[in-house]
Amino acid sequence: MPTTTIPAPPIEVSITVTVPLDVATRLQRMANRHGKNDTEYIRDALVAIATTGLTRPSYLSNVPTVAESGFPGFEALNWYAFLASAKVPSAILDKWNAEIVKVLNDQGTKDALTKLGLSGAPSSRAELTAFMQKESDKWGKLVRERKITAD
């Protein structure tokens, strides 16, 4: 049976939802009939069973985390970061980081991100570096243990 993978917002709810292609096509048609985009309709049509972060996002406070559901320590996040060449002077990077943090802390930005099922996590450059190293270590270990390849 052919399938298609549809991104399921909010991101913390699920990494992806895989449904049979005919079901996805029907969801898209129904979404169009109701004047919604696919993402809005899928969000309304599906039931969240767990979030993948360590804590519940404010907009899904009634949905347990995977860790709360019996898998202690489970965390699988989709995250984004602004990166630059190592050749960029620290003073410029510090100024850039300060401005990004200011924008992410702005209430209008927070509200806009929440509508998209996202939440900002402003941090220092050192905190981001530590987070990225932790993520790399965690997922790298899994890839090596499970012998996952890109084939």
Q: What is the pLDDT of residues 60-97, one digit of tens each?
A: 788 899 999 999 999 988 888 989 988 999 999 999 99
Residue 50 carries which side chain, given as an amino acid letter? A
Give me the pLDDT at residue 35, please: 61
Residue 114 lies in a domain: yes
In the chain, where do the E strands start and end? Answer: 3-6, 17-20
Cis peptide before 10 (omega within 30 of 0): yes
Considering only CA atoms, which of 27, 17, 25 is closest in space to residue 47?
Answer: 17
Range of the domain at 11: 3-60
Residue 45 lies in a domain: yes
Give me the pLDDT at residue 20, please: 45
Give me the pLDDT at residue 138, please: 92
CA distance 30 to 40: 11
Low-confidence ranges of the chain (pLDDT < 50): 1, 3-6, 8-21
Give me the pLDDT at residue 77, please: 84
Instruction: Judge if pTM exceeds 0.75.
Output: no
Give me the pLDDT at residue 16, please: 42
CA distance 147 to 136: 16
Residue 79 lies in a domain: no
